[in-house]
A and B are shown apart, each in its own frame.
Chain A
Amino acid sequence: MILELLAVGLIVSAFLAVHLDDAVYSVASLTGTLILAAVLYSLNDATFVAVFQLAIGVGTLAVLFLSSEMLSEKPSGKKPLKNTFLAIAAALLLSIPSIFLSVRTIPTNVSSGVSFSEALWNLRAIDVVLQGLVIMTIALGIAIVLHEKKEGKN
C-alpha cells in the first residue's frame, strides 16, 4: 500500500512540476518527485542510491534551479486554481496504470555474486573519468562567469 501511495505521489508531483506556471512551485514539485523517488529506492533495498539521490538530486538540483529561477524572467499571468485541480485529477488518472497493470518479466533467482562495494571497485576507472568530467564542468562554469564579468566591465 505504501509503495502504491508513493507511486501516485510521484506521478502527481511530476505532472505538477511540468504543468505549474510559477517556476518556484514547479521546482518545489520536482524536488518532491526526487524525494519520493529516493524513498521508493530505499524501500526497494537500494539504500546507497537513495542517499545519492537525496544528496545530489534534491540538494544540488533544487539549489541550482532556485538560483537560476532568481536570475531568469518571471512568467506573467496566473492560471486559475481550477486548472491546478484538473491537473491533479489528470495526474491521478495517469497513475492508475502503474498500480493496476503489470508487465511480466522473467523471474530469476540467479545472483551475479558481485557485492555493491565490489561493483564500485570494478567501476573505478569510470569513476576517475567522471570525476575529471565534474572538474572540467566546474572549470567551464568559472570560465563562463569570468568571461561574463569581463564583458560586463568592457
Chain B
Amino acid sequence: MDYVILSMTLLAIGIYGMLTKRHLLKVLISVELIATAASMNFVLIASSLNKALGEAFLILAFSTDTCVTGIILALLVIASKKYGTCDIRKLAKLDQYETIEGEEEESNSRIEEDIV
C-alpha cells in the first residue's frame, strides 16, 4: 500500500467537496480533509524515513489548523445568525445588496428574486 496515493485520494475528495458543495460547513469539512491529507504525507513519510522532525512539526501544525477551524466556525455561526443562510452562493450575493437597516426588506426581496 502506498501512503502517497492514499493522501492524494483524500486530497482529491477534499477538492471535489470544495468545488461542488454549497453549504459552508461542507466546504469547511473539505478543507479539513485537505489538511488531513497534507498531515498524512508529513507523518507517514517522516515516520518511514525515521525522522522525528516531521512529526514534531506536525504537532505544532495541528494547533494552527484548529485555530483556523475555530475562526471559520465563528464566521459560520455569525453568517447563519445574521443572514439566516449558510449557502456560499447566497452569501456571495449579499455584498452586492448590503444596505442600511431601513432598506433591509427591499434588499431581501431583491436577493430572493435574484436567487429564483
B35 to chain A: closest residue by CB: A57
> Which of B6-14, B92-100, B105-113 has 4 or more CB atoms under 8 Å from chain A?
B6-14
A37, A60, A68, A130: the one within 8 Å of B36 (CB): A37
Q: A56-B62, A111-B51, A118-B52 are in contact. Are A11 and B25 (CB under 8 A)?
A: no
Name the A residues within 8 Å of B76 (CB-CB).
68, 72
A72, A115, A137: the one within 8 Å of B71 (CB): A137
Nearest-Cβ distance from residue B70 to partner chain A, whole angstroms: 6
Name the A residues within 8 Å of B26 (CB-CB).
18, 23, 26
A-B contact count (CB 8 A): 185
Whether the Cβ atoms of A144 and B56 lie closer than 8 Å is no
Question: How does the 8 Å CB contact mask read for B32-51 relative to A, with 1 for contact and 0 for none?
Answer: 11001001100111111111
B9, B17, B48: the one within 8 Å of A18 (CB): B17
A72, A108, A133: the one within 8 Å of B25 (CB): A72
The interface size bin for chain A is 35 or more
Q: Using a CB-CB cutoff of 8 Å, which residues 43-64 of chain A contact chain B?
A: 44-46, 48-49, 52-53, 56-57, 60-61, 64
Name the A residues within 8 Å of B88 (CB-CB).
none
| Chain A to chain B contacts (Cβ below 8 Å), 9 pairs | A14-B36, A46-B46, A49-B59, A52-B59, A61-B69, A72-B80, A72-B86, A105-B48, A119-B52
